[in-house]
Structure 1
């Protein structure tokens, strides 16, 4: 396997189906602990309180900046600041899948993707009741 291709290759890290609370009023995405510790390790315990900023590029080349931190209270890793904007713009709903990947190049650029639960990018559910 030669890695001399000019195309940007990225390694898929993990996917997560968002829950109602991920796209709800809490404005945060919970990242499964084993994925968080493996792919987005926090530098040290004192940083985890304030969190770090992670930049993710989407398929359109737009860069999203999320605050990533560890909540001791719920023992969970979360993306907070910036997440609600992503949810709004992509019109994410519970059951939709968010995917994370990382470039194999020197820059280690992070990428974020999404797909609706139905598998299509179109919302074919018609007018929502309620």
Structure 2
């Protein structure tokens, strides 16, 4: 089965206000908005298209693990701890809801941030080896 699924092309994110969310992703995260109507927006960020889809109030992409902790379903990567610290400080200055930089017992460090609808995302200080190899 190796090699059949080549990459993630699209991630769907539930939002309550498409225009507000598209603006937030563009302004706060530097995403490019390539399409928007009243039901969805397509924003391009980190090599992936995110479909921001109008959803019912209170919907989000998070889930609760078996220990009762609310979790994210997506991790972004940055190139090293200095980049992680700089992004953490930038997000803090922008007023984005962020968690502390964490040591989770594996290589690198992480922090979590949330969009206006409470969709949580992780940021990791390590680039995946496949990405490092493909960018050389």
Common fold, TM-score beyond 0.5?
Answer: no
Structure 2 length-normalised TM: 0.25
Point out which structure has higher relative CO (alpha carbons under 8 A, 6+ apart): 1
Structure 1 length-normalised TM: 0.25
